[in-house]
Amino acid sequence: MHVIEVRNLLKRFDGIDAVNDISFEVEEGTIFGFLGPNGAGKTTTISILCTLLSPTSGSASIKGYDCVTNPTMVRRSIGIVFQDTTLDKDLTAYENLMFHAYLYDVKRSEIKSRVSDALRFVDLYERKDDLVKKFSGGMKRRLEVARSLTHRPSVLFLDEPTLGLDPQTRANLWEYIVDLPKKHNVTVFMTTHYMEEAEVCDRIAIIDKGRIIIAGTP
Ligand code: ATP
């Protein structure tokens, strides 16, 4: 089943076609890598899929929910880890995840177990009561991945999840990412500039100047 479908998507900013008539789909339970140089249109595409931007024309859907006409259902179906952290540094790891679970209306009786499970998945359970401002960059990124899982999204968007991390921390975070489809039943849509990360994806698409130039298996 295709959990993401993009058809003839176009986004024009002041005369620039940031995304220029692209079409692709992503199979459920896979890792999809979206590659391309700076300014190619990756963030614009993700922003449309996450309902943060509306397209100029064409369509995009998640689990069959149209990103323009059914944004509420799309938002319930997705998790997002963007480049800039949105964690509250003055709260503990546990409080950050609890807050997120409340925002997403997770059933009260399930909140604590979901938050604990997510923290265990990224090996931060022992540090759950530490303030986020005491965490390293790699720990924060792992915590963001954990947080994005607490409402059980079908699709997780990771925008350059390992950017700015040292090689060892990157490899460590990557171990959690490759486990996501199997362990959390989630489809991963990620952007990356690293070839070794692209190679682990089930499928990739390369975008340049708003157009998909190659799509297939790495
Ligand atoms: P990066 O790897 O640097 O994040 P990207 O592939 O994500 O790049 P986009 O951020 O999608 O690229 O940008 C695609 C093009 O659209 C660029 O030419 C950019 O300048 C332009 N663009 C993006 N957002 C806007 C905006 N809000 N207004 C005008 N132009 C924009």
Q: Is 14 helix (H, G, I), strand (E, B) or coil?
A: coil
Report the chain (218 residues): mean pLDDT per 10 consecutive residues. 96 95 96 94 95 97 97 94 89 96 92 93 94 92 92 92 82 86 91 87 95 91
Nearest CA to ligand 1 atom 2: 38
| Distance of alpha carbon 18 from alpha carbon 199, whole angstroms | 26
Residue 85: per-residue pLDDT: 83
| Distance of alpha carbon 198 from alpha carbon 67, whole angstroms | 26
Integer angstrom CA distances of residue 19 from 40, 211, 214: 8, 7, 15
> What's the CA-to-centroid distance between 47 and ligand 1, angstroms?
10
Residue 172: per-residue pLDDT: 82
Q: Are strands 187-191 and 203-208 parallel, antiparallel or unpaired?
A: unpaired
Q: Is 89 helix (H, G, I), strand (E, B) or coil?
A: coil
Residue 184: per-residue pLDDT: 83
User: Could you tell which of 43, 52, 56 is best to mutate to test the pocket of ligand 1, judged by most ligand atoms within 8 Å of the CB?
Assistant: 43
Residue 170: per-residue pLDDT: 82
| pTM to 2 decimal places | 0.91
**How many residues does this entry show for the chain?**
218
* Nearest residue to 139 via CA among 119, 113, 159: 119
* Nearest residue to 183 via CA among 217, 146, 218: 146
Nearest CA to ligand 1 atom 18: 39
Residue 204: per-residue pLDDT: 96
Residue 192: per-residue pLDDT: 87
| Distance of alpha carbon 174 from alpha carbon 171, whole angstroms | 5
Please indicate whether residue 83, judged by its CB atom, sits closer than 6 Å to ligand 1: no
Taking a C-beta distance cutoff of 8 angstroms, is the pair 10, 58 a contact?
yes
Closest approach atom of ligand 1 to CA 44: 11
∠ CA 111-114-117, nearest 5°, is 145
Residue 201: per-residue pLDDT: 93
